Structure 1
């Protein structure tokens, strides 16, 4: 699998660049397509560690709303992302909420597709903190060991 990572990353980067588009989800929404190389095992099994959550949500925390997330918020958001990617049904909304901080969000994963026999999914992650809302779109691919590798 290590030899195929650069090939998969290049193919997915090409696909994402060709298919990228923006769509608003409400007031003050930033959409960005997450592209780049494959990360380490950010989504192996629950519970998700803080380090894994930070890596998985790297693009999200760059947004105004995402930057306001606490460590607990980021763990809840990363867990919801893992669950959405692992869900059998495309389009199923996985919600998360931290009542202590008031942060919440929704993750929706798209249909499964394959690139060089690697299972991948696109997703949209909407995060709300107070009156602010940001959306980040990205992709992740599943490793042979079941871990989801976000493309960032």
Structure 2
């Protein structure tokens, strides 16, 4: 992947997603994080399609679709789901998947830490979350770092 070739469409798409995420702040931090993560990933995938203006359009469309998917997953999570995700990030081995079904919403989640590293003295983990929300399967990729208070915060 040539980052210089992708930079203009991806940067424009990320700016669009961040702007839209600010408008949807009522949905809370999970929805906003999901929107941003999904938008960035969707834009990156879309930027691989076509050339010239077609690539730019594909990047923007990919960003919008990814942002919507990410927002749906983030919006669907309640406090119990966030707590379970944090427990998995804290204690599961890299590559070990753990899942649950929320008894209230019937949404299903499977979280898999995919990489562990340290950043600014804090442990960080990349992860994949497969979710079935309202019967629709979605996949979200993200990175979270442990905060000084022991909680985990999504950083991208």
In structure 1, runs of 5+ residues without a counterpart are: 1-16, 18-35, 37-53
The residue number in structure 1 matching 2:108 is 104
> Distance in 1 between the 2:139 and 2:133 partners?
12
Deviation (angstroms), 1:126: 1.2
> Distance in 2 between the 1:68 and 1:138 partners?
12
Deviation (angstroms), 1:58: 3.2
Q: Deviations over 1:18-39 (max 9, x none)?
A: xxxxxxxxxxxxxxxxxx9xxx
Sort the Cα spacing of 1:133 and 1:60 in 2 relative to 1 into closer, same or farther, 3 A: farther
In structure 2, runs of 5+ residues without a counterpart are: 4-17, 19-27, 36-66
Is the CA contact 2:94–2:114 (under 8 Å) kept in the aligned structure 1? yes
Rg larger in structure: 2
Alignment of 1:1-152 (within 5 A): 54-60=28-34, 63-64=68-69, 67=72, 73-152=77-156
> Distance in 2 between the 1:135 and 1:143 partners?
25
Q: Deviations over 1:75-129 (max 9, x none)?
A: 3331221011101411222212124433111111123201232211101111103
Q: How does the TM-score come out when normalised to structure 2?
A: 0.50
Q: How does the TM-score come out when normalised to structure 1?
A: 0.51
